[in-house]
Amino acid sequence: SHADLRVRGIYEISKALTAPARLEITLANVANILPSFVQMRHGAIVVLDAEGDPEIAASAGDADTARSGTHPIVPRAVIEHIVATGTKLMIPDVSTSELFQADPETYHSGNSLPIAFIGIPVKAEHKILGVLSLDRARDSPTGSLYDEDIVFLTMVADLVGRTVRLHRALTTDRERRVDSQWTLENSSDEDRTDSIPHPPVKMEGIIGESPALK
């Protein structure tokens, strides 16, 4: 059943997210798992940096729909819309949406079927960290399957958000410890330098030391 498939999908994605690996590898693994559990033509996970620019992008999907280096995984206008609203974005036909007009060919299905798009904000503690999205040929009217997919993708986006936040917290903590260690070592070096005894300096011509006064 669809419910059993979704549960297994969450389990597999949770395993990928908790495996020891760099964040970009972890997200690539999650992106590659998604097509096994949700119908898609192409899927993507985009993580944003502090300025709101894409920092990490992972994608998966059909080989003939893979984005080239000149095409964004998710249009900038779409990312900005999801970040600004903080809610999901469901577009039954991207050809009718102004958000996709900057890159229409990328979302062309190659036949008469319209391309539907689902975008979910990736959040952690109410802060938007990125976007999880998929697109697919819409061969049936929007209905319960889309609702189920949105629920599933929202759960995945929540897990991804928690993982991104954890990785960033660990990175910040590691950098702080490295800085502290560097400061401590420098301080120790200065202390050792200050503690080295210096021979007394003999200065000629000091009053009381000249032959005339002796």
Residue boundaries of the structural domains of the chain: 2-170
- A 10 A CB-CB count for 145 gives 13
Supply the pLDDT for residue 106. 59
Instruction: Provide mean pLDDT across the span 174-186.
Output: 74
Handedness of CA 117, 14, 10, 160 (dihedral sign): negative
Cα–Cα dist 41/38, whole Å: 10
- Pick from 12-21, 32-41, 107-116, 167-176: least confident: 107-116
Residue count (the chain): 214
Instruction: Identify which has the larger pLDDT, 125 or 109.
Output: 125
Instruction: Provide mean pLDDT across the span 52-59.
Output: 93
Mean pLDDT, all residues of the chain: 82
Helix, strand or coil, per DSSP, at residue 43: strand
Residue 80 has pLDDT above 80, yes or no: yes
CA atoms in the 13 A half-sphere facing the CB of 168:
14
Burial class (CB in 10 A: 0-12, 13-18, 19+), 185: exposed
Contacts of 167 (CB under 8 A, 6+ apart): 23, 26
Please state, in angstroms and as integers, the Cα–Cα distance from residue 171 to each residue in 46, 88, 176, following that order. 19, 29, 9
Cα–Cα dist 59/20, whole Å: 20
Supply the pLDDT for residue 183. 72
Please state, in angstroms and as integers, the Cα–Cα distance from residue 46 to each residue in 65, 76, 79, 96, 131, following that order. 17, 11, 9, 23, 5
Instruction: Provide mean pLDDT across the span 11-22.
Output: 96
Instruction: Identify which has the larger pLDDT, 94 or 69.
Output: 94
Q: Which CATH architecture has domain 2-170?
A: 2-Layer Sandwich (3.30)
Supply the pLDDT for residue 103. 66
Please state, in angstroms and as integers, the Cα–Cα distance from residue 5 to each residue in 8, 39, 117, 148, 152, following that order. 5, 12, 21, 11, 10
Burial class (CB in 10 A: 0-12, 13-18, 19+), 25: middle
* Most confident segment among 62-76, 131-145, 195-209: 131-145
Supply the pLDDT for residue 88. 96
Name the strand (E) or helix (H) holding 53.
Answer: none
Instruction: Identify which has the larger pLDDT, 181 or 48.
Output: 48
Residue 122 has pLDDT above 70, yes or no: yes
